[in-house]
Structure 1
Amino acid sequence: MNYFLDTNILLAYLKQHTLVKNLQKYFELETSPNLIFTSAVCIGELKSLAVQNNWGEKRIHSIELLRQFILITNTLENTIIDRYARIDAYSQGRLQEKQLETSARNMGKNDLWIAATASVLNATIITTDKDFDHLHNQFLKVARFDLK
């Protein structure tokens, strides 16, 4: 099974949030080997948080340690670019061959890149927010966890 970790999940790992234990149990339930992905977009968001909040060297270094257990996609290949366009059009209710069943959703541009990458990787996106809910079972699977 392929999983894609959203930025908020990576942040929970860095903060050693109790959510991490729930995620580990979730991943262990799978019988097949799991591949864990994220993207350069998520790493960029983390590094931006580090700069904005004056994180210390130890915490900034922990971002680089994520590379030891997560596969990071660094390129925007044509398939990801094309999927970005389709997801954006779908989210706006303007994709002719696939209609959005709710009102239009304005997704942040980084979230669009994240969704497109997870979709191309055929990965379930692991997140704590609702930003990807309208894409569930349309372009990808979404597993949302509560931070409580």
Structure 2
Amino acid sequence: MSYTIRDARAEDMQRVLKLVQELAEFEKEENAVEITTNDLIRDGFGLKPLFHCFVAESDGEIVGTALIYPRYSTWKGPIIHLEDLIVTKEMRGSGLGSALLTEVIKYGHNLGVKRISWEVLDWNEPAINFYEAKGARVLRDWDVVHMDEGGIQNFINNL
């Protein structure tokens, strides 16, 4: 199957959101996606874009995406974070995931970043094996820490 990878456009965000929802279902978090197409358009294509996105097309349909954004490491300097790399179920095993990851790595290299980082669920062995085969290190001794909107509000309320 042939595909093309390109920079996403605002009009792609509806399909990108569908891919995000597909990933949430795969990760058993189908009700966790709160973002809308309009949010993606505003946040990715406004005056100060918060992310960069690649899409993969096959036969005119978007079948994969990679969404990244800049971060800063106090140890390394500028880095980028790969929030999601998503390939439709039908396209898995086609090389599309490798092509999207390659595009992300080339993009980071061209920016001169010192690191590209992302998370992977500890039960997603196919993804872990894929990333390790590409030369990434899965840091199993680190835990992801986050504070959701409710946690932020509780913190503020208790100041």
Q: TM-score, normalised by structure 1?
A: 0.32
Larger fraction in strand: 2
Greater relative CO, 1 or 2 (CA 8 Å, sep 6+)? 1
Return the structure number with greater helix share: 1
Larger Rg: 2
